[in-house]
Amino acid sequence: MNLNFKEIFTAFMVLFAVIDIIGNIPIIINLRKKVGHIQSEKASIIAGILMIIFLFLGNNILNLIGIGVNSFAVAGAFVIFFIALEMILGISIYKQDETTPMTASVFPLAFPLIAGPGSLTTLLSLRAEFSIENIIVAVILNVIIIYIVLKTSARIERLLGANGINIIHKVFGVILLAIAVKLFAFNIKELLELA
């Protein structure tokens, strides 16, 4: 076991910013109004399982289609960059499907809202830089936070208010932008050295 607190904290913060569960509170509340009840445990566990499976199998999938982790991480840096721009500028680049089935726990909550393209890409990008056990700990910590937020979303929205959520959204957008630049710089350097 090669547990490193700095790596766990960084991976946790990156995933927390990408998943943006606090910023998604208005969407969660809207879903709750539409479907009546959200199974917080089910949504959190399924999202966690999806992320951990992708962390292990994502590499094999890439090898199968002949893409290196560094190339994927550079592409991931672009995805994170655009997510950050959405958060900072309050624009919508990624269009989400509006259909809501009877149970919102798995779709669209666990996937793609929590374990979506952004978080799955981020996991492989992190894997190019950090050890796998630190990323798993970061995923588990995020799943716990997600569960708490899902359970108390209405209370958090009342507590923070629309402005509070908006400020948190923008702050994490800036953090995410800096992370995207770091990921891009690190992996493009690796690619240029391999070339």
DSSP-derived secondary structure letter, 2: -
Compute the average pLDDT of residues 20-39. Answer: 82
Position 33 pLDDT exceeds 80: no
Position 43 pLDDT exceeds 90: yes
Q: Taking the CB of residue 81, how many other CB atoms lie within 10 A of it? A: 17
Residue 39 or 194, more confident: 39
Q: What is the largest CA-CA distance in the chain?
A: 54
60-81 pLDDT, tens digit per residue, is 888 899 988 788 888 888 888 8
- Give the span between the Cα atoms of 192 and 30, in whole angstroms: 46
Q: What is the pLDDT of residue 175?
A: 85
Q: What is the pLDDT of residue 94?
A: 59
- pTM, full prediction: 0.79
Cis ω on the peptide bond leading into residue 117 (within 30° of 0)? Answer: no
81-108 pLDDT, tens digit per residue, is 888 888 888 887 755 555 444 457 787 7
For residue 145, give both structure tokens: 């936070």
Cβ proximity of 51 and 121 under 8 Å: no
130-160 pLDDT, tens digit per residue, is 999 999 999 999 999 999 999 998 898 889 8
**Whose structure tokens read 């800036």?**
174
Compute the average pLDDT of residues 45-64. Answer: 92
